[in-house]
Amino acid sequence: MKTKAILSLLAIIAITALLYFLTLDEERYHRTQVDYPIPPVTLLDEHGQPVVLRDFLLVDKPVMLEFLFTSCTTLCPNQAVQFANFQKKLPNSEQVRLVSITVDPETDTPAVLNHYLHQYQALPGWDFLTGSKSDIKQVMTAFNIKPSDMITHDSSLLLRHPKTGQWTRIDGQLSSQDFIHEHQLLLQ
- All structural domains of the chain: 30-186 (3.40.30.10)
pLDDT digits (tens, 9 = 90+) for 161-175: 999 999 999 888 777
The model's pTM: 0.79
Q: Check: CB of residue 88 under 8 Å from CB of residue 115.
A: no
- Which helix (H) or strand (E) element contains residue 110? helix 110-119
User: How much is the pLDDT for 38?
Assistant: 95
Rounded Cα gap, residues 127 and 59, in angstroms: 14
If you compute the radius of gyration of the chain from its CA atoms, what whole number of angstroms results?
20
Q: Which residues pair with 102 in a beta bridge?
A: 68
pLDDT digits (tens, 9 = 90+) for 10-20: 545 555 544 44
Q: Check: CB of residue 170 under 8 Å from CB of residue 78.
A: no
Between these two residues, 127 and 80, which has the higher pLDDT value? 127
User: Average model confidence (pLDDT) for the chain?
Assistant: 81
Share of the chain above pLDDT 70, in %: 77
127-to-16, 96, 112, 124, 135 alpha-carbon distances in Å: 44, 11, 13, 8, 17
Contacts of 119 (CB under 8 A, 6+ apart): none
Greatest mean pLDDT range, 50-59, 92-101, 178-187: 50-59
* Percent helix, percent strand, percent coil in the chain, to nearest 5: 45, 20, 35
